[in-house]
Amino acid sequence: MATITCKDFLDRLESWMEGDVHSDSQAHLRNCPHCRSLVEDLKAICGEASNWRADEIEVFGSWEERKRFIRECAARKKQRDC
Ligand SMILES: [Zn+2]
């Protein structure tokens, strides 16, 4: 059973996108179709590329820019799902 909430998952999304995937996040993703679709949508919305390899993320410039971009995407997605 997942021990983290959707909010926790979102909080960890930045490090997820950075390649630091927590086992907690993975467990949550398995049990939460909502976050699973969010991750899929994030990939589709935030990147023309189909994956988030570090060298491709570099197009966003600094990590601060990237984090802001990911947050905006996540917020957009959450609004849409409400
Ligand atoms: Zn969730």
Query: Is position 1 within any domain?
Result: no
Question: What is the total count of domains within the chain?
Answer: 1
How would you class 20 by CB atoms within 10 Å of its CB: exposed for 0-12, middle for 13-18, buried for 19 or more? exposed
Query: Is position 70 within any domain?
Result: yes
Give the range of the structural domain holding residue 15, as residue numbers without chain letter: 6-81
Check if the beta carbon of residue 63 is closer than 8 Å to that of residue 70. no
Q: Is residue 61 classed as helix, strand or coil in its secondary structure?
A: coil
CA of 7 to the centre of ligand 1 (A): 7
CA of 68 to the centre of ligand 1 (A): 20
pLDDT digits (tens, 9 = 90+) for 16-37: 767 777 888 888 888 998 888 8
CA of 8 to the centre of ligand 1 (A): 8
CA of 73 to the centre of ligand 1 (A): 16
Query: Is position 19 within any domain?
Result: yes
pLDDT digits (tens, 9 = 90+) for 31-82: 998 888 877 777 666 654 445 555 544 445 555 666 677 777 777 766 665 4
